[in-house]
Structures are given as C-alpha cells and as structure tokens.
C-alpha cells in the first residue's frame, strides 16, 4: 500500500512531466538558517532567507501561480550549497533565472556574480563595472534586493571604507559567509 507521501510524490512527478510545474520549490536547512529555494525550467530563480509563505506569494504573483513543492528539481542546487557550506565548493555551477530582477538590478547582480570566492568588491567598484560609476547607492539598493542570495554573492560587496554594510539576510549571515570564504 502506498503512503500519502508516495502518492503525492507521484502526483508531483506527473504534473512536472506534463509541464504543469512552472516553479518548483523546497526548504533547505543551512548553517545560516533555513533557506527557501525555487527553480523554473530556466534555472534557479530564488534562494531566500524569508519565510516560505512570503517567497511563495511573490513567486505566484511574479512568475506563475503554478508553484509546487518539488525538492527533486532542486537537488543539484541543494548539493552545491551543502558543498559550499562544507568548504569543498568555491563556485556554483547552476543555471540561473534572472526574471525577478529589473534590468538595472540584473546588470548589478551579474557584476556581483563575477566577484570571486574569498574576495570582496565595493559598491563603487560594482557600479563602475557596469558603466555607472556614480551609481554606487543604486547598486547597493539592487544588491539589497538580490533574490539569489549566496549563489549570486552579494555578501561579497562592502563599503568603500572596507566596512561591512547592509545585507538582506542580516549582518551575522554576511559575516559568517565572508568568514567561511576566508575574508578578514
């Protein structure tokens, strides 16, 4: 006899096979607290520190109302996060879906994505790298709304004076992530 969980897993697999799962999501425990991961067929669309209900409401409104708990679609992302937190991964190899970002934010986040493991960049450097050297505050605002935390490493962006400034996940998480990467 099948359990309810097995039946539900079968329903989800069939829905996915028929193209009915526009957004798959799961919760994932990490050393920086619970994370909500979601992916579309284009790639990872969010890694969030927010409450799952908030994340799911945003995804339903901005991507598709066809959001389903489907951890299997996020196995690769979860393994890579575990490897990162375990100290065996320095770069993520995941397809990303940038659709939750404005064009300006996407340009900032693509620049942030290029900041290497164990290094930091200033908001000014990020702004200059996208051809907007006077837009460091706007780059900071875009950074603060990063829907792809950790994988797009906004924690690696610091103030011009070297200070740790703002982080959407909280300063303790930013400090933890930088320490994990060997940044002093």
Q: What amino acid positions are annotated as catalytic residues?
A: 154
Instruction: Please give the full DSSP string across the chain, using - where no structure is assigned.
Output: ---HHHHHHHHHHHHHHTT--SEEEEEE--TT--EEEEE-SSSEEEEESS-HHHHHHHHHHHT-S-EEE-GGGGHHHHHHHHHHHTTS-SS----B--TTS-HHHHHHHHHHHTSPTT--EEHHHHHHHTT-TT-HHHHHHHHHT-SBTTTS-GGGEE-TTS-----TT-HHHHHHHHHHTT--
55 neighbors 67 (Cβ within 8 angstroms): no
Separation of alpha carbons 75 and 58, rounded Å: 22
β-pairing, 157-158 with 121-122?
parallel
């Amino acid at each position: 006899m099948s359990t309810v969980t097995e039946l539900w897993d079968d329903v989800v697999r069939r829905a996915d096979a028929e193209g009915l799962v526009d957004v798959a999501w799961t919760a994932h425990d990490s050393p920086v607290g619970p994370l909500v991961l979601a992916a579309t067929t284009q790639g990872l669309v969010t890694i969030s520190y927010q409450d799952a209900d908030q994340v799911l409401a945003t995804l339903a409104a901005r991507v598709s109302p066809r959001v389903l708990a489907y951890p299997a679609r996020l196995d690769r992302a979860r393994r890579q996060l575990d490897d990162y937190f375990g100290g065996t991964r320095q770069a993520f190899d995941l397809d990303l879906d940038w659709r939750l970002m404005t064009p300006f934010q996407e340009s900032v986040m693509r620049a942030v994505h290029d900041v290497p493991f164990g290094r930091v960049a200033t908001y000014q450097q990020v702004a200059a790298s996208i051809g907007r050297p006077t837009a460091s505050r706007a780059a900071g605002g875009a950074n603060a709304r990063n829907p792809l935390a950790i994988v797009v490493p906004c924690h690696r962006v610091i103030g011009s004076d070297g200070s740790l400034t703002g982080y959407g996940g909280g300063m303790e998480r930013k400090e933890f992530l930088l320490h994990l990467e060997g940044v002093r």
